[in-house]
Amino acid sequence: MTGHAPDGPGLLRNFVGGEFVDVGSRFTKRSPVTGEPVFEVVEASQSTVDDAVAAARSALRGPWGRMGERERAEVLRRVADELERRFDDLVAAEVADTGKAISQARTLDIPRGAANFRAFAEIVATAPTESFTTVTPAGGRALNYAVRKPVGVVAVIVPWNLPLLLLTWKVAPALACGNAVVVKPSEETPASATLLAEVMAAAGVPDGVFNLVHGFGPGSAGEHLTRHPGVDAITFTGESATGSAIMRAAADGVKAVSFELGGKNAGLVFADADLDAAVAGSVRSSFTNGGQVCLCTERIYVQRPVFEEFTARLAKRADELAYGWPDDEATANMPLISHGHRDKVLGHYALARTEGAEVRAGGGTPRFGDARDGGAYVQPTVLTGLGPDARTNQEEIFGPVVHVAPFDDEDEAFALANGTAYGLAATVWTPDVGRAHRAGARLDAGIVWVNTWFLRDLRTPFGGVKASGVGREGGVHSLDFYSELTNVCVDLT
Ligand code: NAD
Ligand code: 6OD
């Protein structure tokens, strides 16, 4: 990649107005696999953020601002083509930053980058807008119709768990709607975003439409961006507490916000479920990406007749998940993103024991006898024995850990699932169609999956209720956030 130097830990730079710039202090990004430095990253100062916002504003006044939906859709398709051309580089960048298994980066993270651009190219080119014929007071006719316009300069702030997937999930609709963006990836995952800047340039996205600033949150690029008077809207994915801080910063400028936040998602396994599918699905829903997916199930409630069998099988599968180096195709486990995050997760493992949990699988850290002992690994962990109000069942841990508890009937199951401050996703395992629909109606969650997990259609609404988010993105819901609607009323008489 030309965003960083070829030898030693590469230097990752900011991208402003179509140019890579490396003015400012630097920080080190370390490998979650070994703890060794992998990148030096230029931290964007207030003045770099000012330049990025100014470049974005200026781009809105240039050719980008004059393009129609279909032309923009064509640009988005070129971005998708270029992402596919740079596929191997992007996989390598994502694996270097996160330590995730190469098989997952190849099948989930990077394909979704291109898919996000293709989906929103299609959605923006085909989305209808409202129109109404109105009777005037004089008995004549008037035509009302809505016109979509860009919001302006959009700040995109994203976390480290699915870096390219989550970044492009927001950049694609923002560009589809004609905005210019300033993006801030997580300080833990600067590499794929830097490659995305190269992709944008190669795809012919006009200078200043996509700008990238690296850095941290408070007192750094993240806060500079959210407090910037030149930013019109903020779209954010991350922790609920960070969402609160950003909302306070956005209040000063009355900026629109869209928030995809934390979760403490429940899985419900009914006694009539296909238990093989429920166990396999729960292994995925609790341990994918080291449990570092906002949609992961950290609480599973199982109907009493199958509770013991389900728990024993889940614990066995957790113990069997394969460790390996990220580039080994058989690897299933991955390290946590950092030693800081590992300390937090291990603190939760200790807390669970203090609260009286029984550890049915894992509960500690693996030993490898090689360089991975310098990494941020923890064992996939299955817990039982705690009540619904235990902190272990209330606080988002964001690691490969799940607590399993029994329930007796449907009402109890729905009440347990709803019993946290969060409401992002729920997963229900049952062949009973009536129960599936009741779950959809009664669970406090933005997404209810039945007999599946993380099956995505990019046209559907995505977001959370309660502390899990503000607003919805996906399909036309993204268009609604990333555009302003002007109603035009023409008297036809
Ligand atoms: P985080 O909130 O710590 O950081 C997310 C981003 O915000 C990073 O880029 C960070 O630098 C930036 N940031 C932090 N403080 C800021 C501030 N005061 N002002 C501006 N920017 C700031 O989250 P994380 O640890 O990177 O990611 C894990 C969290 O993200 C989990 O809670 C997870 O559930 C959540 N998440 C939610 C979704 C969803 O779709 N709902 C998706 C992925 C992750
Ligand atoms: O699939 C998506 O569009 C999406 N936003 C997934 C979020 C995953 C959270 O970690």
Question: What six digits make up the tokens of 290?
Answer: 């080291």
Does the pLDDT at position 175 exceed 60? yes
Which of 237, 284, 287 for mutating ligand 2's site (highest number of atoms within 8 Å of CB)? 237
In the prediction, which pLDDT does 3 show?
37
For 98-131, write each residue's pLDDT tens digit. 999 999 999 999 999 999 999 999 999 999 999 9
Contact 33, 123 (CB under 8 A): no
What is the distance between the alpha carbons of residues 365 and 359, in angstroms, rounded to a whole number? 13
CA of 132 to the centre of ligand 1 (A): 41
For 437-461, write each residue's pLDDT tens digit. 999 999 999 999 999 999 999 999 9
Which residues' Cβ are closer than 6 Å to ligand 1? 157-161, 166, 184, 186-187, 216-218, 222-223, 226, 237-239, 242, 245-246, 260-263, 294, 396, 398, 424, 464, 469
pLDDT (mean) for 458-477: 98
CA of 178 to the centre of ligand 1 (A): 25
Question: In a 3-state reduction of DSSP, which class is residue 294?
Answer: coil
Does the pLDDT at position 9 exceed 70? no
pLDDT confidence tier of residue 407, bands split at 50, 70 and 90: very high
Longest CA–CA separation in the chain, Å: 86
What is the distance between the alpha carbons of residues 266 and 271, in angstroms, rounded to a whole number? 16
Does the pLDDT at position 5 exceed 90? no
pLDDT (mean) for 479-491: 98
CA of 160 to the centre of ligand 1 (A): 8
In the prediction, which pLDDT does 412 show?
98
Question: In a 3-state reduction of DSSP, which class is residue 241?
Answer: helix
In the prediction, which pLDDT does 4 show?
39
For 262-298, write each residue's pLDDT tens digit. 999 999 999 999 999 999 999 999 999 999 999 999 9
Core vs surface per residue 373-398: b (16+ CB within 10 A) or e = ebbbbbbbbbbbbbebebebbebbbb
Going by alpha carbons, the residue nearest to atom 7 of ligand 2 is 294
Clarify whether 177 is annotated catalytic: no
Question: What six digits make up the tokens of 423?
Answer: 């409401």
Which residues' Cβ are closer than 6 Å to ligand 2? 161-162, 166, 169, 260, 293-295, 456, 462
pLDDT confidence tier of residue 7, bands split at 50, 70 and 90: very low
Does the pLDDT at position 464 exceed 80? yes
Ligand nearest to the CA of 398: 1
Q: Looking at ligand 2, which atom is closest to the CA of residue 293?
A: 10
- Residue 290 identity: G
CA 387 → CA 157, 340, 422, distances in Å? 35, 28, 17
Q: Of 294, 296, 396, 473, which one is the catalytic site residue?
A: 294
Count of other CB atoms within 10 angstroms of residue 93: 30
Going by alpha carbons, the residue nearest to atom 42 of ligand 1 is 294
In the prediction, which pLDDT does 362 show?
98
Q: Looking at ligand 1, which atom is closest to the CA of residue 240?
A: 32
**Secondary structure in 3-state letters for 360-398:** EECCCCCCCCCHHHHCCCCCCEEEECCCCCCHHHCCCCC
What is the distance between the alpha carbons of residues 378 and 398, in angstroms, rounded to a whole number? 12
In the prediction, which pLDDT does 2 show?
37
Ligand nearest to the CA of 214: 1
CA nearest neighbour of 306 among 281, 278, 286:
278
pLDDT confidence tier of residue 6, bands split at 50, 70 and 90: very low
pLDDT (mean) for 295-318: 98
Does the pLDDT at position 132 exceed 70? yes
**DSSP secondary structure, 140-199, as one string:** -EEEEEEEEEE-SEEEEE--SSSHHHHHHHHHHHHHHTT-EEEEE--TT--HHHHHHHHH
Helix (H) or strand (E) holding 12: strand 10-12
Clarify whether 294 is annotated catalytic: yes
Classify strands 483-491 and 141-150 as parallel, antiparallel or unpaired.
antiparallel
Which of 242, 257, 345 for mutating ligand 1's site (highest number of atoms within 8 Å of CB)? 242
Q: Of 188, 260, 396, 473, which one is the catalytic site residue?
A: 260
